């Protein structure tokens, strides 16, 4: 079985989706654990937001790569 560009991009985007889900879940958990430290809260909020944006981009790339793989 030969992997095409679409197959490789699907694999990489799914890996990024899994990482971003872990970042969002972990960041949300950390928000509850560090309520008394506002400086860390800002950093964790940025980390969680970056994970969410990265996940949205990876989902859109995954979608288009799967559509391209059907042709």
Q: Is the dihedral of CA 32, 37, 41, 43 positive or negative?
A: negative
Question: Tell me, what's the pLDDT at 64?
Answer: 96
> What pLDDT digit, counting tens, does each position of 12-58 carry?
999 999 999 999 999 999 999 998 888 899 999 999 999 999 999 99
Q: Between 69 and 61, whose confidence is greater?
A: 61
Residue with tokens 């860390």, as numbered in its chain: 40
* DSSP annotation string for the chain: ----HHHHHHHHHHHHHHHHHHHHHHHHHHHHHTTT-HHHHHHHHHHHHHHHHHHHHHHHHHHHHHHHHH-
21/30 Cα distance (integer angstroms) = 14
> Model confidence at 71, in pLDDT bands (50, 70, 90)?
confident
Whether 70 has a pLDDT exceeding 90, the answer reads no
């Amino acid at each position: 079985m030969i992997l095409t560009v679409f197959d490789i991009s699907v694999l990489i985007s799914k890996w990024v989706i899994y990482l971003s889900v872990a970042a969002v879940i972990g960041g949300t958990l950390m928000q509850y654990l560090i309520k008394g430290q506002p400086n860390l809260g800002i950093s964790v909020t940025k980390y969680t937001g970056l994970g969410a944006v990265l996940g949205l981009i990876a989902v859109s790339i995954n979608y288009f790569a799967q559509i391209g793989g059907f042709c």
